[in-house]
């Protein structure tokens, strides 16, 4: 019986070694094709310290796992109307300002209440505010702010309000509504590209 157990363990060990060698060969093949670092074992990756901006809520900061909203990342706050999305964003703005950072608020909805923002701790005299007329204008402003490398946090309120210029004056027909939604999807992709630049810029700053 003991000999049988020993044989099973030996066969299992050989199978594990064979599997490991097969995976290593696959990893090497992928890295040869796509470049070093294209795929790695997570345990081999260097630990990355992620800077964050507090949300103003200890409980939420803890739940997010990194102490708040991670910097150099795209963060979308999703929820029903009047659920506190803008309030949360303004708390993040206030916390960024407390750390000495510059904050920008792109108010695509043209609905920001300065008095309310001030009550939440936002230094409104230092807040950069833009109220663009079109989605394209909003993204151009955002890109300029990102490229400056001097802004800690940019709030776009909201993605749904980034209406393309070509669709601002169209009628409310079903066909045109479909066109508007398609354009908004396109705008989402464009905004993701712009904000990806933000993440890249942040990584460059961290390595300087």
113 and 70 both lie in a single domain: yes
Inter-CA distances, 34 with 27, 37, 196, 204, Å: 10, 8, 21, 22
Domain hosting residue 26, numbered range: 2-43
169 and 193 both lie in a single domain: yes
108 and 178 both lie in a single domain: yes
> Helix 174-207 and helix 135-148: axis angle, to 10°?
0
The count of domains in the chain is 2
111 and 60 both lie in a single domain: yes
161 and 94 both lie in a single domain: yes
DSSP state letters, 49-117: PPPEE--S-HHHHHHHSSSSEETTS------STTSSHHHHHHHHHHHHHHTT--EEEEETTS---HHHH
Among 1-10, 53-62, 161-170, which stretch is predicted with the lowest mean pLDDT? 1-10
39 and 63 both lie in a single domain: no
81 and 174 both lie in a single domain: yes
CATH number at residue 142: 3.40.50.300
145 and 185 both lie in a single domain: yes
201 and 98 both lie in a single domain: yes
pTM of the model: 0.66
58 and 144 both lie in a single domain: yes
Task: For residues 34-61, give the mean pLDDT.
Answer: 86
60 and 146 both lie in a single domain: yes
100 and 18 both lie in a single domain: no
pLDDT digits 0-9 by tens, 67-110 = 999 988 889 998 888 899 999 999 999 999 999 999 999 999 99
């Amino acid at each position: 019986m003991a000999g049988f157990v020993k044989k099973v363990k030996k066969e299992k060990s050989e199978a594990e070694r064979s599997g490991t060698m097969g995976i290593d060969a696959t990893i090497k093949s992928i890295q040869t094709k796509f470049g070093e670092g294209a795929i790695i074992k997570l345990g081999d990756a260097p630990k990355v310290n992620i800077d964050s901006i507090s949300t103003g809520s200890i409980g939420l900061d803890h739940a997010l796992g990194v102490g708040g909203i991670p910097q150099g990342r795209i963060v979308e706050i999703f929820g029903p109307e009047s659920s506190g999305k803008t309030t949360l964003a303004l708390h993040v703005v206030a916390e960024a300002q407390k750390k000495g950072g510059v904050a920008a608020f792109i108010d695509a909805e043209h609905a920001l209440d300065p008095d309310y923002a001030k009550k939440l701790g936002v230094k409104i005299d230092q807040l950069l505010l833009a109220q663009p007329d079109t989605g394209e204008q909003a993204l151009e402003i955002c890109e300029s702010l990102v490229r400056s490398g001097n802004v800690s946090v940019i709030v776009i309120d909201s993605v749904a309000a980034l209406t393309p210029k070509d669709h601002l004056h169209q009628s409310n027909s079903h066909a045109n509504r479909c066109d508007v939604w398609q354009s908004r999807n396109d705008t989402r992709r464009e905004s993701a590209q712009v904000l990806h630049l933000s993440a890249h810029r942040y990584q460059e700053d961290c390595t300087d």
